[in-house]
A and B are shown apart, each in its own frame.
Chain A
Amino acid sequence: MKKKFIYLILFFPLVVDGSTLLCQQKTKAWDGSRTTPVHLIQLRDEFDQLIVPTLPYPLPYSTRFTCAPCHDYELINQGLHFNASSSPEDGRPGEPWVWVEPKTGTILPLSYHNWPGVWNPEDVGLSPWNFTLLFGRHMAGGGVGEPSEEVSPESRWNVSGKLEINCMACHNASRIQSHSEWAKQVLRQNFRWAATAASGLGEVGGMASRLPDTWDIIDGPNPDDTEWAVVPYVRYKTWHFDSQHRVFFDISGEPDDSRCLTCHSVSRAGSKKFTAVEDVHSAAGKECVDCHRNDISHNMIRGYEAEYAGYGREDAAEFTCQGCHMGRNLARKSRSETGRLGAPYPRHRGIPAVHFERLSCTVCHAGFRPAKSPVRVRTSRANRLGIYGIARWSTEMPYIFEPVYLKDSSGKIHPHRLMWPAFWGLSDGEKITLLPPSDIRQAGGDILYAEEQVVRILTALALYAELEGIPVFVARGKAYEPNVDGRLDVSSLVPQPLRADTWWGVKKEGKISPLIPQFDPKSEESEAGVEEIILSVLDALEKMEEVPGPPALLCRDVLYVIKDGYLEKKPAPRKAKDYPELVWVVKEGTMPLVSNFQVRTVVSTVGTEYTLTEEQVKLILDSLSRQKKNSASSPSSFFFYVSGGRMFRLGPEGDLISLKHRAAGPVVWPLAHHVRPAQQSLGSSGCRDCHSANSSFFFHKVRAVGALKIQNPVKISGHSLMGLSKPYQKLFGLSFRLRPLLKTALFISATVIGTVVFLLFLLSIGKLSGLIEKRR
C-alpha cells in the first residue's frame, strides 16, 4: 500500500503534464519535402514520463506519448486499421476475424463491420478484452485493443495495460521488428509491453496473465516471486540510447511489403515457400503502399472501384486497376490519357466489351486460376501465420478457398475467398443466438475429449510403465501415438497380431507388438515374464488421476489387479476374451480403458480435417436440450450446430437431422491480389478458357467443409454462386465448339460478297473511264 502511494505521488504530476502536452498536438501541413525526418527521439511511457533506460524498473514506451508530439494519435486511431468498431462506414466486405476452437468445432467469422455472413463479436459475448486476447496477435493495436472504458467482468486492462497502436509494426524499417514477439506478449497479456518487445528496443520478461486481477502498474514488481507470477518488466538495450536518452527509430514512412505481409499473407495450403506465387506488381517492383496510400489520418485507400463511386473518395479513383491502367477513359484514344505511372494499357484484343461490364478486372487477373474445385489457402490472420517459435502456431482451420466468383451489389462478378462457418446456437423463430465455445465445453464434458483420454493413457504408459518403445493405441487397423502437442498422430494400417478390434501396443523400431503379449493365465511357464509387464502397466495406469476405477487386466477367466503393490489374480467378473484386455474395475464389473464411443470418435477424427462426429453433435445437442428443459426458454426454440453448409438439430424422435439454413451458408469476401500478368490471365488462351461445356470457371464445385465429419456435405457449383443458369452456360460453352465453323462460314461469305462488290466496283470504274464499253 505504501509502495502504491509512492508511485501515485511520483506519477500524478506527470499525468497532468502529459495531458497538457496532448493539447499541443497539431496536424502540420506537408512542407513539400519527400524525405522522412530522422526519428531520434526520447521515449515516453504511458504516463508521458521520459524513459531513462538505466533507472530501475523502467516502463515500456507508449506510442501514444512518444509519437504524439508530432503525430495526431487520435486521428490515426480513426484510420482503417484501427476503426473497425467505430467507423460508420463498413466498406466492401473484407476478411473477417475467425474464431477457431477445434475442440467444440467452432469456426466463427467475426467482424465489427456489418458485413454479410459475419457475426459481431458482441453476438457471441466477446468483449473488447476477449477479442484483443484472441486476435491481438494480428492486430495493429489501437481501436478495440485500446477501449476508453470497459467494465466486462473478465477484462484485466489494469493488469495488461492497453494495446496501443503499434506504429513500429508497420513503420519500422529495421529487420529487428518481430511480429512473433508481439504475438507472444499479447498472449501473455503483456499488452503495454508488446510494442517495446516487438521493436527490439528492450527485452521483456514476466507474464501479466499470471498476475492477480488486482495488480496495477503502480504496484511495481513483486520481489517475492521471481519464478511464476513475475511482473512484466523491460530491460532496454542501452546501446540504442544516446546521452540525452534519445533513440533512433529507423522509420520507413512508406512501410515495406514484408510489414504488410505479416498480417496479409495468403498462400496455397500445403505448398512450399519457394513455390509461392507472387503478385505481378510486386515482382515488377511496386510496393503495397504504392496503391494503398494514406495521409496522416491513416484512412488507407483499399483500391476497389466502389470505394470511389460508392463512398465518394475522389483520391481513391486513380488507385483502382482501371485508374492505373486505363485512366478514367475505358476506350482510350490517345496516348496522353495513360494511367498512373504510365501503367501498361491493356488492349484486351478479341475480348467482347460485355466482359468489362459484367466482370471486374480481378476475375481474369487475380488469385489462382479457376480449377475443378477451388484451391485451399491459408491466410495470416485466419490461420495464424508468421508467428515463429518452438510451438506450432499456424492452424489448418479455418478452411478458406479461392477463387469462387460472385456478383456484388452492382451485379458485377468478382473473385472471392470463401469459408464455411461452424458454430453452435439456439434458434427461436427467426432469432439466432450464438453459444460461445465455453458453453459447449461445459455441456459436452467428456464427449469432447475422446482423443485426450487416449493421450492420457498413452502418456501414463510412456512415463511410468518402463516400456522399451513408444506406447501406441491400435484401433481398426491404425496405430495412434502421442505427439508433442498433446494430440495423437495416426499411422497407416498395421498387421494385426491380435484378433481384437482395439488393443494397446508398443512401437519399437517401427514394429508394433502388443503391450501385453498373448498368454495363457493357466500356464506356469510363460506367466513370470508376463506378470512383470502386467504389473508395470497396471502400476502406470494406477498413477492416472480422474479415472473410473482401479486398472486391471482381463484375460480369459482371470482378472489381474494390483493389491498392496503386488499383482493379484481374481476370477473374472464376466466371460473374457482370449487375448489380454486392459480394463477399469468399476462397481458394475469392468469397463475398457477407452469406451467404444471414444474409439469411434478417435478413429473418425484423428488424422482427418474433422474434429467432431455426428454422434458427438447429437450427444451435445441432447445435453443442451436437457439443460433447456430446466430453463425458461421458448418451447419452439431448439439448439443447433452448423457445419459443412448444413444446420444440425435433434428431430422429434431425438435423432440428428440436418437441414439447409441461411446461417449455414458460406461467408465470402472479395480478393484482389496475386495479380497475374496478361499472359496468364483468363482468356489469354482464348474464349474457351471459360466458355466450354466443362468450364472450371462456371462449373467448379465448392464442397462444404467444417469441423464435423458428415456424409453429405453441401456442394455448390460456380454458376449458382454467380446466379447464372447452368443449361445456358453449358449450351453457350458448347457453341464455342462450332465457332471455327461459323468463322469459316463468315469468312467464305465475306470473300464471295466482297469479290462481287469489288467486281462491280471495277466494272463501274471501267465504264466511267471508258475502258469497258456499255452494252447496247
Chain B
Amino acid sequence: MFGLITAASLFGLLLILTFLRFRKRQFSAVRNSRSFLLTYPSWLWRTTADLFKNEGRKKAVRHFSDWLKLSYPREQRWIFFTLAGSFSYLVLSGMVPAVGGLRLSGIFLVLHVFFGSLFALSLGAVVVLRARFYRFDEKSPDDKTSTSGLRLCAAFWIFTLCGLTQILTALSLMLPLFALSVEIDIFRAHEYSGLVALLSAIAFFYLSFFEENHG
C-alpha cells in the first residue's frame, strides 16, 4: 500500500510541477486547450532530455551553484550538505525497502539511525538559520534571493514539519513509552511523514531552481 501511495504521489507531484511550469512558459504560444495538452508530453520529453545533455547538466549545476551561493554563506554550506546528504541516505535506505514491502535491517539500519541524528541536527540548524527567509507575509531581508514565493515557503515549512515528525517518531520509537499497537501507528507516521518530506523537498528544489530563480 505504502509503495503504491509513494509511487503515485511522486508521479503526481512531478506531473503537477512540470505541468505548472509548462503552462507558465507555453500558455501564450498555444491557443486552444486540446493542442495545449497534446504539446505537453513532447515538451516534457524535450526538457527532460535537455537535462541529460552536456549543456543541460552544466545549466543545472550552474543554477544549483547560484542558488547555494545566494542561500548559504560559505561557512554555512556544510550544514546544507549535511542535511542534503543525510536526507538522501534516509530516503534511499528508508523508502526503497518500504516501497518494496521489505524491512530496513542490517548495516543499513545502523546507518539509518546514525544519519537520522545528523539529519535532525542539520535540520535544526537550517531552520534556525533560514526560517526568516521563508516567512509567508514578508519579503526576504536578503533582497538578492527571491524565496518569498508562497509555494516555496509552503514547501520549506512542510519539509520542516515533516522533519520534526520524523524526529519525534524516531525518538519515541527509541523510548519505552508506547505499547506495540501505538508503536505500529507511530511507525506508519514515520513512513508517511518521510514520504511527505521527500515530496516537499522535491517541490522546494524544483521551485527554487525552475520557478523562482530561473523560471
Which residues of A are at the interface with B, using a C-beta cutoff of 8 A?
330-333, 346-354, 356-357, 686, 728, 731-732, 735, 738-739, 741-743, 745-750, 752-754, 756-757, 760, 764, 767, 774-775
Contact = CB atoms under 8 A, between A and B. Distances in A.
Given A746-B120, A752-B124, 14 more contacts: A350-B176, A353-B180, A686-B176, A739-B174, A742-B113, A745-B117, A745-B120, A746-B116, A750-B120, A753-B167, A754-B164, A757-B164, A760-B157, A774-B138
Contacts of B103: 354, 357
A752 B168 CA distance: 12
Interface string B166-195: 011011011111111101110100000000
A333 B160 contact: no
Contacts of A756: 127-128, 131, 160
Contacts of A775: 138
A732 B167 contact: no
A746 B117 contact: yes
Contact of A760 (B110, B131, B174): B131
A732 B117 CA distance: 16
Q: Which of A330, A332, A352, A764 has the most chain B CB atoms closer than 10 A to its own CB? A: A352
A698 to B, nearest CB: 14
Closest 6 CB pairs of A and B: A350-B176, A749-B120, A347-B179, A749-B124, A331-B181, A348-B180
Interface string B143-180: 00000000000000100110110011011011111111
Interface in B179-215: 179-181, 183-185, 187
Given A346-B180, A753-B123, A775-B138, A746 B171 contact: yes
Contacts of B127: 752-753, 756-757
A746 B124 CA distance: 10
A747 B171 contact: yes
Contacts of A764: 136
Nearest to A747: B171
A230 B166 CA distance: 84
Interface string B120-136: 11011001100100011
Given A331-B184, A753-B124, A735 B164 contact: no
A302 B53 CA distance: 67
Nearest to B107: A728
Given A735-B113, A757-B160, A750 B179 contact: no
Nearest to B119: A749
Is the contact region of chain B dominated by helix, strand, or loop, or is it mixed? helix
Q: Which of B114, B136, B137, B176 has the most chain A CB atoms closer than 10 A to its own CB? A: B176
B88 interface: no
B73 interface: no
Contacts of B135: 760
Given A350-B178, A754-B164, A749 B121 contact: yes
A347 B171 CA distance: 18
B105 interface: yes
Interface residues of B, number: 43
A738 B113 CA distance: 10
Contact of A753 (B109, B160, B179): B160
A750 B167 contact: yes
Given A745-B121, A760-B157, A354 B163 contact: no
Contacts of B183: 348, 350-353
Contacts of A348: 179-180, 183
Contacts of B106: 728
Contacts, number: 111
B181 A333 contact: yes
Given A350-B175, A735-B110, A742-B114, A750 B168 contact: yes
Contacts of B121: 745, 748-749
Q: Which of A347, A749, A775 has the most chain B CB atoms closer than 10 A to its own CB? A: A749
A349 B131 CA distance: 36
A356 B184 CA distance: 11
11 contacts: A331-B180, A331-B181, A348-B180, A349-B179, A350-B178, A742-B116, A749-B120, A749-B123, A750-B167, A753-B127, A760-B131
A290 B35 CA distance: 75
B116 to A, nearest CB: 7
A753 B121 CA distance: 10
Contacts of A774: 137-138
A600 to B, nearest CB: 51
A753 B171 contact: no
Contacts of A357: 103
Contacts of A748: 121, 124
B124 to A, nearest CB: 4
Nearest to A725: B106
Given A349-B176, A774-B137, A775-B138, A746 B157 contact: no
A769 to B, nearest CB: 14
Given A749-B123, A750-B168, A753-B123, A742 B117 contact: yes
A731 B167 contact: no
A764 B153 CA distance: 14
Nearest to B179: A347
Contacts of B164: 750, 753-754, 757
A764 B134 CA distance: 13
Contacts of A757: 127, 157, 160-161, 164
A350 to B, nearest CB: 3
A754 to B, nearest CB: 6
A700 B163 CA distance: 40
Nearest to A754: B164
A351 B131 contact: no
Contacts of B163: 753
Q: Which of B123, B138, B171, B175 has the most chain A CB atoms closer than 10 A to its own CB? A: B171
Nearest to A774: B137
B117 A332 contact: no
A354 B179 contact: no
Contacts of A749: 120-121, 123-124, 167
A743 B181 contact: no
A354 B181 contact: no
A756 B129 CA distance: 11
A666 to B, nearest CB: 27
B102 to A, nearest CB: 11
A747 B177 CA distance: 15
Contacts of A356: 180
B160 to A, nearest CB: 6
Contacts of B123: 749, 753
Contacts of B168: 750
Given A352-B183, A353-B187, A767 B137 contact: yes
Contacts of A754: 164
A743 B173 CA distance: 10
B181 A332 contact: yes
A2 B131 CA distance: 114
Interface string B67-109: 0000000000000000000000000000000000001011101
Given A735-B110, A750-B164, A754-B164, A351 B120 contact: no
Q: Which of A747, A753, A756 has the most chain B CB atoms closer than 10 A to its own CB? A: A753
A767 B138 CA distance: 12
A351 B124 contact: no
A201 to B, nearest CB: 53
B167 to A, nearest CB: 5
Given A749-B124, A756-B127, A774-B137, A731 B107 contact: yes
Contacts of B117: 741-742, 745-746
